[in-house]
Amino acid sequence: MNSFGARLRSAMDARGPLCVGIDPHASLLAAWGLKDDVDGLETFTRTVVEALADTVAVFKPQSAFFERFGSRGIAVLERAVADLRAAGGLVVMDAKRGDIGSTMAAYAETYLRPGAPLFSDALTVSPYLGYGSLQPAVDLARESGAGLFVLALTSNPEGAEVQRAVREDGRTIGATMLAHLAAENAGETPMGSFGAVVGATLGDLSSFDLDINGPLLAPGIGAQGATAADLPAVFGPAVRNVVPNVSRGVLKAGPDAAALKDAAERFADEIRAAVAV
């Protein structure tokens, strides 16, 4: 299997640099005229998959919105992951897992071991038990040709108290995470498989070295207030490796499949024009 970084670059070049979040929260199900139950979840998810799986480069299902329905919700997620990947889409499982030792290894087996029911192209992880706690996921991702997106500079205001805290060496925690990722990706072509989550709403990030030779998953476009036109100013020279995530901006166009396609194509076109290099 080609590395996640290579597959991601190919998918973005072919389908456009857009990641669609699949976030079936209760208010969105209601807006689609669906009940907040497993049947509503399944209808919502199947509609998004059938409308977009063969045209959008990357999908980011938010695991929590499926987990809340128990085993039946997880079954819906498993089918969605399999169908998305079968249609050529890449799946970034947004589960933000983070732990130590055998527990982190078990999380890695859940999402990064080929053949596992929830095997995904990449997984979001939290490094705030120490970057080294992620080693089981790093190792299995390398072995499986998968990737990771590490929380580095997130868009939520609360994140700053940790991510912008300054270490004894004068470097912030967020910058430290970026440096770890740059080391993981050193020498990889066309880019590495170990990415960072960096919010598109954060404004000028020129004080951080975002050139990690890996992807930058950028939530915040659309409902959170950022636009495609903001990306060059936020990400600077690293903008070509940005994977902009749009969730509600696309999903609110449903349940009509054609409207979902139109919304995704519009965002992809805007992003493509903004990040052209």
Tokens read off for 213: 């030779």
For residue 255, report the phi and psi dihedrals to the nearest 5 degrees: -90, 5
CB 184 within 8 A of CB 177: no
Instruction: Count the neighbouring beta carbons within 10 Å of the beta carbon of residue 149.
Output: 26
Q: What is the separation of C-alpha 61 from the centre of its chain, rounded to a whole number of angstroms?
A: 8
Whether 96 is a known active-site residue: answer: yes
Bridge partners of 140, per DSSP, are: none
Q: Which of 60, 96, 252, 261 is catalytic?
A: 96
What are the structure tokens assigned to 141, written together? 């991702």
- Cα–Cα–Cα angle for 195, 196, 198, nearest 5°? 145
Q: How far apart are CA 122 and CA 149, in angstroms?
A: 7
Catalogue the active-site residues.
Answer: 96
